[in-house]
Amino acid sequence: MDIQRNADPKNAEKMWDRRAANYPRYRDSEDTLEAKVMRLMEEKGADPTGLRVLDVGCGSGKYTLRLAKKAASVTATDISGEMLRILKEDAAKEEVTNITAVHADWSDFNPEEAEFDIVFCATTPAVRNEADFAKVTGIAGKFVVYLGFAGKKDSEVMMEIYKALNITPKRFNDIPMLKAWLDSRNLSYSSTLIEDKWEKRIPAAKMKEHCMDFLMENATEDAVSAVDKAVSARTDSEGMASDTTHFRMELVIWKTK
């Protein structure tokens, strides 16, 4: 599924605003995927310390805050005003003051005279095609850091629903297109695979809503029934539904100059 690319921006904004309340937020821990990605960035030479960073499709800011604690400044863009509100709230709690939040769809974002050393893109539907790859490369003065999916993003509850509806799930695999584009431009890059899982526990009603978002054009009466059955089976006595998503990601970093 590529919600933002396949939907009108206003509809995409409403959808992400709706999901923001239960979206993962910044955690001050070294035992997180975000901390691992930051360590890999530094190992590969893309250390944000003292640099100007653009975080594209920043969401709730779980990477933004880590970047800002090292960088000179971070400009964070997102289509969702509610995601940015959460980012600002968490930034205030962490006493981080060097973040500029920009509420905009990526296709409309124009940095004009702003200069950035690193452009950071983590699992964002904002950067998905060759025009986007060219845009982030043109903006970045030193590096582009891109975290994408490498053929695996399997939610246990969604896999149950797809099976019940006899739907072949979409494979999340944006990395081959990116690598082909980089090769065609003779841009050298490093690549690191990351395999892990996410655990999620949210109100059952919200879980059902999220599942229907993924079904999109398959949102039939049968789909509603399948979602209700799958989510109800994972709902505890407190009305909270749990899910585990198994994923494989790839961190690709390339120099732009």
pLDDT, position 7: 54
- The total of structural domains in the chain comes to 1
The encoded tokens of residue 27 equal 């955690």
For residue 141, is it within any domain? yes
For residue 206, is it within any domain? no
For residue 231, is it within any domain? no
Beta strands in the chain (DSSP E): 52-56, 73-78, 99-103, 116-122, 140-155, 189-203, 240-255
For residue 92, is it within any domain? yes
For residue 233, is it within any domain? no
For residue 210, is it within any domain? no
> What CATH number corresponds to the domain at position 146?
3.40.50.150
pLDDT, tens digit, 9 for 90 and up, residues 154-203: 999 999 999 999 999 888 888 999 999 999 999 999 999 999 998 999 99
For residue 219, is it within any domain? no
pLDDT, tens digit, 9 for 90 and up, residues 105-118: 998 898 876 789 99
Domain that holds residue 141: 3-155+170-200+245-255
pLDDT tens per residue across all 257 residues of the chain: 344 444 567 788 988 998 898 889 999 999 999 999 999 999 999 999 999 999 999 999 999 999 999 999 999 999 999 999 999 999 999 999 999 999 999 988 988 767 899 999 999 999 989 999 999 999 999 999 999 999 999 999 999 999 999 999 888 888 999 999 999 999 999 999 999 998 999 999 999 998 998 887 777 889 999 999 999 999 999 999 999 999 999 999 999 98
What is the spatial order of strands in the sheet that 189-203 belongs to? 99-103, 73-78, 52-56, 116-122, 140-155, 240-255, 189-203
For residue 63, is it within any domain? yes
